Structure 1
Amino acid sequence: MGATVEQYLQRLDDGRRPDLPDSTVGTLRLDVRSDGCTDHWYLRVCDQHVQVTRSADDADLVVRADRWVFDSMVSGELHPGAAMLRNELTMQGDMRLLLVLRRIFAGPAGARHPRELGRAALAARPATAVQEGRS
């Protein structure tokens, strides 16, 4: 198994993250439940930077789930939106920050956006095949 949510968040650097929208500003608190205890992780997002601390302070978006759910998101095995729809995690607050959570837990290594795959497939097709498809 890959990194746990604790290991991942501890290594999450405070450097610029160009994958985050530059206009996004907000705070997230991740409540990670395990063995009857809850660990709190506080993420402050501003100017494409994510600062991680351990705190139970109020946040714009609070996400609660069992440790295995967060560990699965870190490894790319589980998408935050899918976990929410299956009621494996709950969210309270500014749901727009779900986009930030999706980008922080980006998915499996080597994953590509479907649009990138489509563009690559079109670029690989011969020009005549593309023109024939338009007629």
Structure 2
Amino acid sequence: MTEATERFFESLPARAPHVLLSPVSGTMQIDLSRGTRTVHWLVHLRPGAIEVSRNRGPADAIWYTSEELFDRLVTGRAQAISSVLRNESSFSGDVVLFLLFRRFFPDPPGTRDPRQVAREQVGRLR
């Protein structure tokens, strides 16, 4: 398990009030594999809060991915939906939980909000 992944999971409870604004709730199990070893994370999502543990358990959704890919996701070097569409990871269950959880991942390095870019362009024209 990489340090970036550990820090990511540790940061989720503090970030949840700003990210989990919808009324969606449920449990997602994230299985990170490396060779023959798999590390499990159980994430309980509810409006404004998240609980994280290193357990397996009943889940509304399960996301299977490699530790290496997950490390790229938590550092903004990969995108979650793209990884599923390219079959680099797989997902089963309530897709709404996956779409909600991906909001915790950072944008790629150097990405700028298009609204801010437009404001800067308008400012230059004045």
Normalising TM by the smaller chain, what interval?
Answer: 0.7 to 0.9
Higher RCO, 1 or 2 (CA under 8 Å, sep at least 6)?
Answer: 2
Structure 1 runs (4+) deviating above 6 angstroms are none
- Aligned positions, number: 124
Which residue pairs with 1:124 in the alignment? 123
Query: 2:66 touches 2:89 (CA, 8 Å); kept in 1?
Result: yes
Q: Which runs of 5+ in 2 are unaligned?
A: none
C-alpha distance after superposition, 1:44-65 (max 9, x if no partner): 1112212111111121121001
AA aligned opposite 2:40: H
More helix per residue: 1 or 2? 2
Q: TM-score, normalised by structure 1?
A: 0.77
Partner of 1:78: 78
Partner residue, 1:101: 101
Amino acid at match of 1:5: T
Give the superposed CA RMSD. Answer: 2.3
Tell me the alpha carbon deviations over residues 15-34 of structure 1, each in whole angstroms, 9 at most, x when there is no partner: 34323233121111110001
Moved more, 92-101 or 63-72: 92-101
CA contact (8 A) 2:20 2:46 kept: no
Distance 1:92 1:29 in 2: 10
Relative to structure 1, is the Cα distance of residues 117 and 28 closer, same or farther in structure 2, using a 3 angstrom cutoff?
same
Contact conserved, 1:3 with 1:75, CA < 8 A, in 2? no
Residue 8 (structure 1) aligned with residue 8 (structure 2): yes
Identity %: 26
- Gap change, CA 1:23 and 1:109, over 3 Å in 2: farther
Preserved CA contact (<8 Å) 1:42 1:52: yes
Kindly indicate whether the alpha-carbon contact (under 8 Å) linking 1:26 and 1:60 is maintained by their aligned counterparts in 2: yes
Alignment check: 8 A CA contact 2:61 2:92 kept: yes
Q: Could you give the per-residue CA deviations for residues 30-86 of structure 1, whole angstroms, max 9, x where no partner exists?
A: 100012011100111112212111111121121001110100001100000110111
Following TM superposition, by how much is the alpha carbon of 1:113 offset from its aligned partner in structure 2, in angstroms?
3.7
